[in-house]
Amino acid sequence: MDERQRHYLGVMGIQVWEQRAAVPAGEQGEGNKEQGTRLQEEKPGNLEPCTLNLVPENDVAALDWPLLRERVAECRSCEELAASRTQTVFGVGNPNADWLVIGEAPGAEEDRQGEPFVGRAGQLLNAMLAAVGLARERVYIANVLKCRPPNNRDPKAEEAAACRGFLQRQIALIQPRLILVVGRIAAQNLLDTDAPLGTLRGKVHRLESGVPVVVTYHPAYLLRSPQEKRKAWADLCLARATVQDAAEQAR
C-alpha cells in the first residue's frame, strides 16, 4: 500500500494497521483469535449470479448520449417529481469508464447543481474511489432516479420503473467492466431483489449482460455510521480485484 492510498484511507476514517510477524498457534492470545475470526467473517464471498429483468422501451434503447440526455431532461413520466425538481440529474463522468457507480436518487444539493454525489457524501465517495486508485473523472456516476424525490423520501416503485430504461441505456452505452452500487435501495432496484444490504455485500453479482456488480454502503450512511467504513473498504477491494481478474483473463 502506497502513501497515496494511506492518505485516502485516512480521509475515509479507516485506520491502517501494519502486518505483524506471525505468532505461533500456541502463543496466540484471545484478542488475536477474536481478530482473526472477525477478519474471516468479513472476507468477501464467492461469485453469485443475479438476473436483471430490465427491458427499456425500444426508442430509449436506440438513443445516443446527447439524445438520451435530452430525453431525460424532458421526461415528465412522474408528475410529482417533475413538478418539484429544479432539474434532472443525468449523470457525470467518463462515458468510456471501466467503473460505473450507481446511487439511489439526487438530494437537495444534487438537484440544485445537476450533478450526482456532491457535498459531504460526494467528497467521501471521491476519497473511497481515490483509495483504490481512481479519480472521480475516470468513473461514471449515475442514480437509479434522475429526479430528486420530495423531502429526500425513498423512491417509489413506479418511479424507479419509469427511470429504468434510462439507466439501462446508460449501462449499455458505457459497457463498464464493473458496477459499484452504493446503498440498499439502489442495489435492490438494480438487482431486482428485496434482499437486505447485508446479504448483498461481500459477493459479486452479475447482470444478464455479464457485467459484475459489487454492493456497498452509501457514503451518506458511512458519514452517520463511520464504524462501517472498514467493511466498505473490503467491498472496494473486492471490486478492484474483480476488475483486475477480468483484465488478466482477457489477456
Residue 11 in any domain: the answer is: no
pTM exceeds 0.85, yes or no: no
Of 85, 61, 62, nearest to 73 (Cα)? 85
Q: Distance between CA atoms of 177 and 162, rounded to whole angstroms?
A: 25
Separation CA 251–CA 246 (nearest Å): 9
pLDDT of residue 59: 83
Looking at residue 24, its pLDDT comes to 52
Specify if 35 maps to a domain. no
In a domain, 217, yes or no: yes
The answer as to whether 117 is a domain residue is: yes
Within a domain: 41 = no
Structural domains counted in the chain: 1
Going by C-alpha positions, the residue among 210, 188, 207, 212 that lies closest to residue 199 is: 188
What are 23-70's pLDDT values in tens digits? 455 554 444 444 444 334 444 444 444 443 333 455 899 999 999 999
222 within a domain of the structure (yes/no): yes
**Helix segments in the chain, DSSP class H:** 3-12, 30-42, 58-61, 65-74, 79-84, 108-113, 119-131, 157-174, 184-191, 197-200, 219-224, 229-250
DSSP 100-144: EEEES---HHHHHHT-SS-HHHHHHHHHHHHHTT--GGGSEEEES
Q: By residue range, what is the domain housing residue 113?
A: 47-250
Among 144, 141, 172, residue whose Cα is nearest residue 64: 172
Q: Which residues are bridge partners to 206 per DSSP?
A: 212
Rounded to whole angstroms, how far apart are CA atoms 131 and 128?
Answer: 5
Q: Distance (Å, rounded) from C-alpha 27 to C-alpha 35?
A: 15
Residue 230's CATH number: 3.40.470.10
pLDDT of the residue at 18: 58
Say if 37 falls within a structural domain.
Answer: no
Residue 41 confidence (pLDDT): 41
Which stretches of the chain score pLDDT less than 50?
23, 28-56
Domain membership of residue 131 (yes or no) is: yes
212-216 β-sheet, strand order: 92-93, 140-143, 99-103, 178-182, 212-216, 205-206
Give the DSSP H or E segment for 251.
Answer: none
d(C-alpha 11, C-alpha 131), whole Å: 9
First to last CA, the chain: 25
